[in-house]
Amino acid sequence: MPEIRNFTLNFGPAHPAAHGVLRLVLEMDGEVIVRADPHIGLLHRGTEKLAETKPYNQSIGYMDRLDYVSMMCNEHGYVLAIEKLLGITPPERALYIRTLFDEITRILNHLLWIGMHALDIGAMSMFIYAFREREDLMDAYEAVSGTRMHASYYRPGGVYRDLPDAMPQYEASRFCSESEAKRLNENRQGSLLDFLEDFTQRFPSYLAEYENLLTDNRIWKQRLVNIGIVSPERALQLGLTGPMLRGSGIAWDIRKKQAYAVYDQVEFDIPIGTNGDSYDRYLVRMEEMFQSNRIIKQCIAWLRKNPGPVIADDKIAPPKRVAMKQDMEALIHHFKLMTEGYCLPVGEAYAAVEHPKGEFGCYILSDGANKPYRLKIRAPGFTHLAAMDEMARGHMLADVVTIIGTQDIVFGEIDR
């Protein structure tokens, strides 16, 4: 009989379940994975080097494009590092707004994750439901920043502007009847905070819908339970963070352990898993959405009662438009800020946030110029992808899709 040898299979790079341009070279023994070798760099965009050629305030928009599902959380890590070097603290209202939008972003990320993860595995309806809720939160992004994705809303010293008192309205058209427009505008008659409060009241019932569809679903459990198990000890050794680490039973969350913004002033719990498999990571992310909803409610209550400035009155903040029309010095400051930016003191700083996918950090080395001498980004997905070989070995080819989904990777940050 001829000798049976393992064969090599290309998974991607243009694969619908690769969540980006991942080329995974799989060594197969029949249907069983013997070795998984991730090939990255096919989306390389040189973000870190580009940021080293531009003033600090012109690189905020690059952060949005790293993980294009968790935009404002990326910005947060970057502006925190700048604030560390400058030694400034944003106003308290700005910190509450940042916390509010970090948690909105966490829900946005997890909704897309559960929609895509379920779609990869064969559950078609979840994708539609998840995008239904995402629409409301993307409207909140648009209301504060003018754009639905790449917001550039966080600034060193605070945020771009305060929360709006009115929400955009749907208009009747040939695609939307007057009665339908009226129905869609029912919860848009007040401020952004009113709109978000309405969302937080509805969202737990939506989460219950997702749970009813998936959590005890026999097929869902067959595809996730005991797939991609990572022990607590191995999770630490591999450098896993976020839901990947908490799914293995380790209650590490930067929001609690190294609190930033106002996370030390709001109440929430850290969900953890027990088995360290894909099903536990699913349960962790579902509970995280519920906890984010809790935090958003607390932020809304505080923001209603406490008006105030949202950006530090400092040389790094642009002057108000009214001041520019009346004062030539303010106008000159505006032009210098927008063209030359500002200089940071000589030194280095690292700041990390609890990104929806794990620890997202920015390391800045300053030589005193108006742009970083070095910028290094710590992307959570990069570390998680390195665990792919170990998580996939011994599993079937179909389980590779489950493991990629449970890692929740986005290649903008991996190939940065």
Give the rounded percent of residues in the chain with a pLDDT score beyond 70: 99
What strands lie across the sheet with 358-366, from one edge to the other?
Answer: 347-355, 358-366, 374-378
Alpha-carbon distance 25 to 81, whole Å?
37
pLDDT of residue 352: 94
Site of tokens 């800020």: 337
Sort 98 into a burial class: Cβ within 10 Å, 0-12 / 13-18 / 19+.
buried
Q: What does the pLDDT look like over 276-300, one tens digit per residue?
A: 999 999 999 999 999 999 999 999 9
Query: What is the model's pTM?
Result: 0.93
Extents of the domains making up the chain: 61-358
| CA pseudo-torsion sign 299, 305, 310, 314 | negative
Whether residue 13 is preceded by a cis peptide bond, meaning omega within 30 degrees of 0, is yes
Tens-place pLDDT, residues 363-407 = 999 999 999 999 999 999 999 999 999 999 999 999 999 999 999
The SS3 call for residue 274 is coil
- Strand 358-366 relative to strand 154-155: parallel, antiparallel, unpaired? unpaired
Say yes or no to pLDDT of 317 above 60. Answer: yes
Please report the pLDDT score of residue 2 as a whole number.
54
Rounded to the nearest angstrom, the gap between the alpha carbon of residue 197 and the centroid of all alpha carbons in its chain is 21
Cβ–Cβ under 8 Å, residues 164 and 97: no
Residue whose structure tokens are 């029309």: 325
Distances in Å between the Cα of 111 and the Cα atoms of 73, 107, 124, 171, 223 are: 15, 6, 14, 27, 19
Q: What is the pLDDT of residues 52-75, one digit of tens each?
A: 999 998 899 899 988 889 999 999
Residue with tokens 């966490």: 106
CA–CA gap between residue 277 and residue 247 (Å, rounded):
7
CATH 1.10.645.10 for domain 61-358:
yes
pLDDT of residue 250 exceeding 90: yes
Are 126 and 114 in contact by the 8 Å Cβ rule? The answer is yes
Q: What percent of the chain lies above the pLDDT cut of 90?
A: 68
Q: For the chain, how big is the Rg over CA atoms in Å?
A: 23
Cβ atoms within 10 Å, residue 83: 21
| pLDDT band, residue 142 (cuts 50/70/90) | very high
Which 8-state DSSP code applies to residue 320? P
The alpha carbon dihedral of 255, 256, 259, 261 has a sign of positive
pLDDT in tens, 153-206: 999 999 999 999 998 888 899 888 999 888 888 889 989 999 999 999 999 999
How high is the pLDDT of residue 318? 81
Interatomic CA distance for residues 154 and 251, integer angstroms: 28
CA–CA dist 375, 356 (Å, integer):
22
pLDDT band per the 50, 70, 90 thresholds, residue 3? low
b/e per residue 225-258 (b: at least 16 CB within 10 A): eebbbbebeebeebbbbbbbbbbbbbebbbbeee
Instruction: Give bridge partners of residue 7 from the DSSP assignment.
Output: 28
CA separation, residue 56 to residues 86, 155, 343, 380, 414 (Å): 12, 10, 8, 23, 22
Q: What integer pLDDT is reported at residue 323 of this predicted model?
A: 80
Single out the residue of 42, 402, 361, 82 nearest to residue 221, CA to CA: 402
Strand, coil or helix: what is 376?
Answer: strand
